[in-house]
Structure 1
Amino acid sequence: MNNEPKKQHIVPKVYLQNFVKKNGKLFKLKIDLSIRPRPKELHPSAICYKDYFYRFENYGVAGFEGISDANILERRGFLYENKLDKILKKLIDNKSIITLQEAFEFSFALFDIKMRNERIRNTLLSKESLNITFENLLNEHKKSPESIQPLLQRNGMDFDNFLEVFEKIRSTWLSDISLQKDLHNKYLLENKSNPSSIVKLIISKLALGEWYVLNTIINNQFITSDNPGYCFDGNNCLYNTKFGGAFDFYFPLTPYYLLIIKSPEIIPEQVLPTKRIVYGLAEKEVVKAANQNTMLIANKEIYAAYDSFLIQTWYALKNPSIITRL
């Protein structure tokens, strides 16, 4: 137990370190439009973590068989962080070459950073969302009870028995918050060991999309947050994640660089061994808009190398009349 990792970062510390100043610290601002903004200067190790966030609580029980280490996700699930910063540094250097393999590795890292975030656990796997899933599943079985007859026969049950068991399972899952936590952790673990066809498609769309890297200047910097990255769909609507259909994915890399990935209309069958990246200068209004979107998608906090950019973004959202729209 002494070696059990307690502080588990929801946003990789290696990523946050790209937003520090020479003193190794960055500024944090809690999002609260009702009080005057007062950013605090902290080390990345002091932010974006929760105790035992990725620890399995019910490993070894039904549904989680084969998981013998409660901290397997924290110990082995985020090894991509070892390559994350190296590829990021190459990405912002327009003289470096990004291989197709590196593009896929970086795309998986971006996707996982979004999926490992507490926003996913608190929304898609909330008690309300799980209850809707249970209700939809129950309604399907009620409409077509014959679909589960083989299962009922094997277990010597009739449909009334099934309903009774179903409701007991629903009650257990909705009343035990640790099981909801484990569902999220299991999803993250399976994305690495046995990703679904949907996850593979998303990674391919990110890796094979059009990549643009915009850079800015010292007095007009990008910020990041405790939930970095956001999507626009085909109707230009802002989302935390929206990887179905056409999308543009925005991700702040450093205070000076922003990555934009435009999903391909179709997945190409033949691709080049290296990734084509278009570099350009981010206009002042683009940086402002990106920072405001970062704050809108953040959970509770935004971060920057300098506090002035946090305060500037806070005031923009405090006063909707000055919000930058592109």
Structure 2
Amino acid sequence: MSVELDLGALAVWMRSAGESVVGELTGRRVGQGQSNLTYRIDDEAGHSWIARRPPLGKLLASAHDVAREYRIMSALRGSGVPVPPTIGVCTDVGVADVPVFVMAHVEGTVVDDEETARALTPDVRRRLGLDLARTLAKIHAVDIDAVGLGDLASRKPYAPRQLKRWARQLEESRTQDRPDLDALTELLRENIPEPDEIALVHGDFHVRNVIIDEATGGIRAVLDWELSTLGDPLADMGSALAYWTQAGDMPGGMFAASTLDGFPTRAEMAAEYLRASGRSGQALGFWHVLGVWKVAIIAEGVYRRVLDEPENAAGVTLTPENIQALVDHGWDVAKENGLVT
């Protein structure tokens, strides 16, 4: 795939930001992400960086804000949350017609396909799954005021904010009528739990958004903070469970490698998170349903962007049937958790 950046101009900017760039830069698209576009950038001496820019085509309001992502990741340095060192945000129109966020490249493995997951031993897979839960607990333990993120977003009750925001996103990116998805929206509105504490919420936490040590399964860096906000920490665990496929689940175009031997079940991950965080899981069922609902809306938005601009595709093909399977799964989770009989 082409690199939608002027690498010569980017090299000039990076040197001005204090980076030792040797010779010319080369770049290639990396990752399966279909939101912000991510590139690995290398110089002639073997130094590497990561650059992120918003996707091509029409952008939804408030989405894909790489400058905000830079602020969050910079604030988390030294907090105990593993994040890559940040370089800065380039706004030089000679580099791109949108802001570009540059960070250090962290060595390690991103488990973003089944082949990579199969290369891990069952013991490493288990440690990875449980370390995802422990790392999420670390994110939620951050003192948001102490790190300068206390004003990142509203501190009003999180569930109504999420329902309003993502229902609006659905309306703006809808590719077809989905009455059962709309009915799931209403079910969630009718079952909003009492507000809990306010914490930093990653907003898109799953196995493809972390870099791991392939030998141990430990997490070296958490990536993709563009959806981060302030809210109920159980929302993040609900989203993590929504992304975590396990044996017996219906196919939905989701990342299915977590069905391999060794990876913990959703129940085991939830239990490890609750142990590490010290929180009650009473409302976790609601947040799990909301997580699946949100994933379905994100998938609809990705499908809309690919229809509008095929270059936004990144090797993963979504279909209307995949999105429908996600909606169906949302209803199954709602039944499992007593939100509907």
Q: Given the two structures, how large is their TM-score scaled by the length of structure 1?
A: 0.28
1 or 2, which has the higher strand percentage?
A: 1
Q: Given the two structures, how large is their TM-score scaled by the length of structure 2?
A: 0.27
**Structure with higher RCO (Cα < 8 A, 6+ apart):** 1
The structure that has the greater radius of gyration is 1
